[in-house]
Structure 1
Protein backbone atom coordinates (compact mmCIF):
# COMPACT_ATOMS: atom_id res chain seq x y z
CA UNK A 1 0.00 0.00 0.00
CA UNK A 2 1.44 3.35 -1.00
CA UNK A 3 1.00 6.53 0.94
CA UNK A 4 -0.20 9.44 -1.19
CA UNK A 5 2.29 12.29 -1.33
CA UNK A 6 1.20 15.88 -1.00
CA UNK A 7 2.44 18.33 -3.61
CA UNK A 8 4.76 21.07 -2.39
CA UNK A 9 2.49 23.75 -3.86
CA UNK A 10 -0.80 24.19 -5.68
CA UNK A 11 -1.32 26.62 -8.55
CA UNK A 12 -4.83 27.75 -9.50
CA UNK A 13 -4.84 29.41 -12.91
CA UNK A 14 -6.65 29.60 -16.22
CA UNK A 15 -5.51 26.85 -18.60
CA UNK A 16 -2.84 28.08 -21.00
CA UNK A 17 -4.89 26.88 -23.97
CA UNK A 18 -7.06 29.98 -23.44
CA UNK A 19 -4.28 31.87 -25.23
CA UNK A 20 -5.49 30.20 -28.42
CA UNK A 21 -8.79 32.05 -28.11
CA UNK A 22 -7.00 35.38 -27.91
CA UNK A 23 -4.84 34.49 -30.90
CA UNK A 24 -7.93 33.48 -32.88
CA UNK A 25 -9.49 36.83 -32.01
CA UNK A 26 -6.37 38.60 -33.31
CA UNK A 27 -6.48 36.70 -36.60
CA UNK A 28 -10.18 37.34 -37.16
CA UNK A 29 -9.82 41.02 -36.21
CA UNK A 30 -7.15 41.62 -38.87
CA UNK A 31 -9.53 42.73 -41.68
CA UNK A 32 -11.21 45.15 -39.27
CA UNK A 33 -7.88 46.42 -37.89
CA UNK A 34 -6.61 47.43 -41.32
CA UNK A 35 -9.90 48.90 -42.59
CA UNK A 36 -9.18 52.42 -41.37
CA UNK A 37 -6.36 54.34 -39.67
CA UNK A 38 -6.29 53.84 -35.93
CA UNK A 39 -8.32 50.63 -35.88
CA UNK A 40 -5.12 48.62 -35.44
CA UNK A 41 -5.55 49.39 -31.71
CA UNK A 42 -8.02 46.49 -31.66
CA UNK A 43 -4.92 44.28 -31.28
CA UNK A 44 -4.58 45.60 -27.72
CA UNK A 45 -7.52 43.38 -26.69
CA UNK A 46 -5.85 40.01 -27.46
CA UNK A 47 -2.51 41.17 -26.05
CA UNK A 48 -4.14 42.11 -22.74
CA UNK A 49 -6.09 38.83 -22.75
CA UNK A 50 -2.90 36.81 -23.27
CA UNK A 51 -1.07 38.67 -20.49
CA UNK A 52 -4.08 38.15 -18.20
CA UNK A 53 -4.23 34.39 -18.89
CA UNK A 54 -0.50 33.95 -18.31
CA UNK A 55 -0.21 36.17 -15.23
CA UNK A 56 -3.34 35.88 -13.04
CA UNK A 57 -3.16 32.97 -10.59
CA UNK A 58 -3.17 31.89 -6.97
CA UNK A 59 -0.32 29.81 -5.58
CA UNK A 60 -0.62 28.01 -2.25
CA UNK A 61 2.14 26.18 -0.42
CA UNK A 62 2.73 25.11 3.16
CA UNK A 63 3.85 28.60 4.18
CA UNK A 64 1.68 31.14 2.35
CA UNK A 65 -0.89 32.12 -0.24
CA UNK A 66 0.25 34.24 -3.18
CA UNK A 67 -2.40 35.95 -5.28
CA UNK A 68 -1.10 37.42 -8.55
CA UNK A 69 -3.31 39.87 -10.38
CA UNK A 70 -2.72 41.65 -13.67
CA UNK A 71 -0.83 44.51 -12.01
CA UNK A 72 0.16 43.26 -8.57
CA UNK A 73 1.06 40.46 -6.21
CA UNK A 74 -0.22 39.86 -2.68
CA UNK A 75 1.43 37.47 -0.24
CA UNK A 76 -0.52 36.23 2.78
CA UNK A 77 1.13 33.82 5.24
CA UNK A 78 -1.16 31.04 6.51
CA UNK A 79 -0.68 32.36 10.05
CA UNK A 80 -2.42 35.60 9.01
CA UNK A 81 -5.40 33.87 7.39
CA UNK A 82 -8.38 34.14 9.73
CA UNK A 83 -10.99 32.64 7.39
CA UNK A 84 -12.02 32.08 3.81
CA UNK A 85 -15.08 33.93 2.56
CA UNK A 86 -17.22 32.43 -0.18
CA UNK A 87 -19.17 34.60 -2.59
CA UNK A 88 -22.47 33.79 -4.26
CA UNK A 89 -20.62 33.03 -7.50
CA UNK A 90 -18.34 30.44 -5.80
CA UNK A 91 -15.29 32.71 -5.72
CA UNK A 92 -13.08 32.49 -2.64
CA UNK A 93 -11.54 35.36 -0.68
CA UNK A 94 -9.03 35.10 2.16
CA UNK A 95 -9.75 37.22 5.23
CA UNK A 96 -6.66 38.32 7.14
CA UNK A 97 -6.28 39.19 10.83
CA UNK A 98 -7.20 42.83 10.18
CA UNK A 99 -10.44 41.80 8.46
CA UNK A 100 -9.22 42.78 5.00
CA UNK A 101 -10.43 40.52 2.20
CA UNK A 102 -7.95 39.32 -0.42
CA UNK A 103 -9.47 37.88 -3.60
CA UNK A 104 -7.91 34.56 -4.60
CA UNK A 105 -7.98 34.51 -8.42
CA UNK A 106 -9.20 31.28 -10.01
CA UNK A 107 -9.90 29.59 -6.65
CA UNK A 108 -13.42 28.16 -6.41
CA UNK A 109 -15.30 26.38 -3.66
CA UNK A 110 -14.42 23.01 -5.19
CA UNK A 111 -10.75 23.77 -4.40
CA UNK A 112 -11.31 24.15 -0.64
CA UNK A 113 -10.38 20.53 0.24
CA UNK A 114 -7.07 20.96 -1.60
CA UNK A 115 -6.40 24.26 0.20
CA UNK A 116 -7.15 22.55 3.50
CA UNK A 117 -4.58 19.86 2.76
CA UNK A 118 -1.84 22.21 1.58
CA UNK A 119 -2.37 24.55 4.57
CA UNK A 120 -1.20 21.79 6.89
CA UNK A 121 -4.42 21.71 8.90
CA UNK A 122 -4.64 25.47 9.47
CA UNK A 123 -7.91 25.49 7.53
CA UNK A 124 -10.73 23.05 8.10
CA UNK A 125 -11.99 21.03 5.16
CA UNK A 126 -15.65 22.04 4.74
CA UNK A 127 -16.48 18.82 2.89
CA UNK A 128 -15.55 16.54 5.81
CA UNK A 129 -18.28 15.45 8.17
CA UNK A 130 -17.79 16.73 11.72
CA UNK A 131 -16.26 14.21 14.07
CA UNK A 132 -18.74 12.46 16.32
CA UNK A 133 -18.19 11.22 19.84
CA UNK A 134 -18.71 7.48 20.47
CA UNK A 135 -22.01 8.27 22.22
CA UNK A 136 -23.33 10.13 19.16
CA UNK A 137 -22.24 7.31 16.85
CA UNK A 138 -24.15 4.70 18.83
CA UNK A 139 -27.33 6.75 18.67
CA UNK A 140 -27.86 6.65 22.42
CA UNK A 141 -29.00 9.86 24.02
CA UNK A 142 -26.51 11.53 26.30
CA UNK A 143 -27.33 11.88 29.94
CA UNK A 144 -27.25 15.45 31.06
CA UNK A 145 -26.06 16.33 34.53
CA UNK A 146 -28.94 17.74 36.47
CA UNK A 147 -28.35 20.63 38.82
CA UNK A 148 -30.20 20.35 42.09
Structure 2
Protein backbone atom coordinates (compact mmCIF):
# COMPACT_ATOMS: atom_id res chain seq x y z
CA UNK A 1 0.00 0.00 0.00
CA UNK A 2 1.54 3.30 -1.09
CA UNK A 3 1.25 6.55 0.80
CA UNK A 4 -1.34 9.04 -0.47
CA UNK A 5 -0.39 11.90 -2.76
CA UNK A 6 -1.26 15.18 -1.07
CA UNK A 7 -2.31 18.38 -2.80
CA UNK A 8 -1.98 21.28 -0.35
CA UNK A 9 -1.83 25.05 -0.44
CA UNK A 10 1.67 26.50 -0.56
CA UNK A 11 3.07 27.29 2.87
CA UNK A 12 4.02 30.71 1.54
CA UNK A 13 0.32 31.57 1.95
CA UNK A 14 1.09 31.84 5.67
CA UNK A 15 3.11 35.03 5.06
CA UNK A 16 0.01 37.23 4.55
CA UNK A 17 -1.55 35.55 7.59
CA UNK A 18 1.47 36.60 9.64
CA UNK A 19 1.18 40.15 8.29
CA UNK A 20 -2.52 40.16 9.19
CA UNK A 21 -1.70 39.00 12.73
CA UNK A 22 0.90 41.76 13.10
CA UNK A 23 -1.59 44.37 11.86
CA UNK A 24 -4.29 43.16 14.26
CA UNK A 25 -1.94 43.01 17.26
CA UNK A 26 -2.08 46.72 18.27
CA UNK A 27 -5.88 46.70 18.23
CA UNK A 28 -6.03 43.34 19.99
CA UNK A 29 -3.82 44.60 22.79
CA UNK A 30 -6.23 47.41 23.78
CA UNK A 31 -8.50 45.37 26.07
CA UNK A 32 -8.91 41.75 27.03
CA UNK A 33 -11.94 41.12 24.78
CA UNK A 34 -10.23 42.52 21.65
CA UNK A 35 -7.74 39.68 21.96
CA UNK A 36 -10.47 37.64 20.27
CA UNK A 37 -9.49 39.42 17.03
CA UNK A 38 -6.37 37.24 16.99
CA UNK A 39 -8.65 34.27 16.32
CA UNK A 40 -9.08 35.53 12.74
CA UNK A 41 -5.46 34.89 11.64
CA UNK A 42 -5.45 31.63 13.62
CA UNK A 43 -8.54 30.45 11.72
CA UNK A 44 -7.04 31.46 8.37
CA UNK A 45 -3.78 29.68 9.23
CA UNK A 46 -5.74 26.53 10.10
CA UNK A 47 -7.49 26.77 6.74
CA UNK A 48 -4.17 27.10 4.88
CA UNK A 49 -2.60 24.17 6.73
CA UNK A 50 -5.57 21.79 6.73
CA UNK A 51 -7.48 22.16 3.45
CA UNK A 52 -6.42 20.03 0.52
CA UNK A 53 -6.94 16.83 -1.41
CA UNK A 54 -5.43 13.40 -0.77
CA UNK A 55 -5.34 10.70 -3.45
CA UNK A 56 -4.64 7.19 -2.21
CA UNK A 57 -5.38 3.54 -2.76
CA UNK A 58 -8.78 3.81 -1.05
CA UNK A 59 -10.01 6.86 -3.01
CA UNK A 60 -9.93 10.63 -3.06
CA UNK A 61 -10.29 12.57 0.20
CA UNK A 62 -11.31 16.24 0.21
CA UNK A 63 -10.14 17.88 3.45
CA UNK A 64 -11.62 21.06 4.90
CA UNK A 65 -10.88 22.85 8.16
CA UNK A 66 -13.50 20.99 10.18
CA UNK A 67 -13.95 17.74 8.31
CA UNK A 68 -13.20 15.56 5.35
CA UNK A 69 -15.04 13.44 2.82
CA UNK A 70 -13.63 10.38 1.11
CA UNK A 71 -14.98 9.19 -2.22
CA UNK A 72 -13.96 5.58 -2.82
CA UNK A 73 -12.85 4.57 -6.30
CA UNK A 74 -15.94 2.38 -6.68
CA UNK A 75 -18.19 5.39 -5.90
CA UNK A 76 -16.51 7.71 -8.40
CA UNK A 77 -18.38 8.38 -11.66
CA UNK A 78 -16.17 11.18 -13.01
CA UNK A 79 -14.78 14.67 -12.64
CA UNK A 80 -16.50 17.94 -13.48
CA UNK A 81 -14.53 21.08 -14.21
CA UNK A 82 -16.21 24.20 -12.83
CA UNK A 83 -16.44 27.56 -14.54
CA UNK A 84 -13.40 28.92 -12.70
CA UNK A 85 -11.27 25.82 -13.16
CA UNK A 86 -12.20 24.20 -9.85
CA UNK A 87 -12.66 20.43 -9.81
CA UNK A 88 -15.64 18.48 -8.55
CA UNK A 89 -15.84 14.72 -8.05
CA UNK A 90 -19.09 13.29 -9.38
CA UNK A 91 -20.21 10.19 -7.48
CA UNK A 92 -22.37 7.29 -8.61
CA UNK A 93 -25.07 8.64 -6.26
CA UNK A 94 -25.21 11.82 -8.42
CA UNK A 95 -23.66 14.01 -5.72
CA UNK A 96 -20.64 16.26 -6.15
CA UNK A 97 -17.67 16.87 -3.88
CA UNK A 98 -15.48 19.91 -4.46
CA UNK A 99 -11.76 19.25 -4.40
CA UNK A 100 -10.06 22.04 -2.44
CA UNK A 101 -6.74 23.42 -3.72
CA UNK A 102 -6.81 21.28 -6.91
CA UNK A 103 -7.49 23.17 -10.13
CA UNK A 104 -7.88 22.18 -13.79
CA UNK A 105 -4.15 22.75 -14.34
CA UNK A 106 -3.50 19.96 -11.79
CA UNK A 107 -5.44 17.32 -13.75
CA UNK A 108 -2.35 15.53 -15.13
CA UNK A 109 -0.87 15.24 -11.61
CA UNK A 110 -4.23 14.10 -10.23
CA UNK A 111 -4.58 11.46 -12.94
CA UNK A 112 -1.04 10.24 -12.32
CA UNK A 113 -1.67 10.04 -8.56
CA UNK A 114 -4.79 7.95 -9.16
CA UNK A 115 -2.76 5.20 -10.76
CA UNK A 116 -4.82 5.21 -13.95
CA UNK A 117 -8.19 5.24 -12.20
CA UNK A 118 -8.98 8.77 -13.39
CA UNK A 119 -9.02 9.88 -16.97
CA UNK A 120 -8.27 13.46 -17.90
CA UNK A 121 -11.44 15.05 -19.30
CA UNK A 122 -11.29 17.47 -22.20
CA UNK A 123 -10.80 21.02 -21.01
CA UNK A 124 -13.51 23.53 -21.99
CA UNK A 125 -12.57 26.01 -24.70
Normalised by the length of structure 2, the TM-score is: 0.85
Moved over 4 A (4+): none
8 Å CA contact retained: 2:62, 2:98: yes
Matched, 1:77 2:52: no
> Could you say if the C-alpha distance between residues 31 and 123 of structure 1 is closer, same or farther in structure 2, counting changes exceeding 3 Å?
same
In 2, distance between residues paired with 1:62 and 1:20? 34
**109, 113, 117: which one pairs with 1:114?**
109
**23, 26, 36: which one pairs with 1:28?**
23
In 1, distance between residues paired with 2:10 and 2:73? 26
In 2, distance between residues paired with 1:75 and 1:112? 18
Pick the structure with greater CA Rg: 1
Match of 2:88 in 1: 93
In 2, distance between residues paired with 1:10 and 1:83? 19
**59, 64, 75: which one pairs with 1:64?**
59
2:106 aligns to what SS in structure 1? helix
Root mean square deviation of aligned Cα: 2.1
Query: How many residue pairs end up in the alignment?
Result: 122
Normalised by the length of structure 1, the TM-score is: 0.73
The unaligned stretches of length 5 or more in structure 1 are 1-6, 128-148
Matched, 1:17 2:15: no
Match of 2:100 in 1: 105
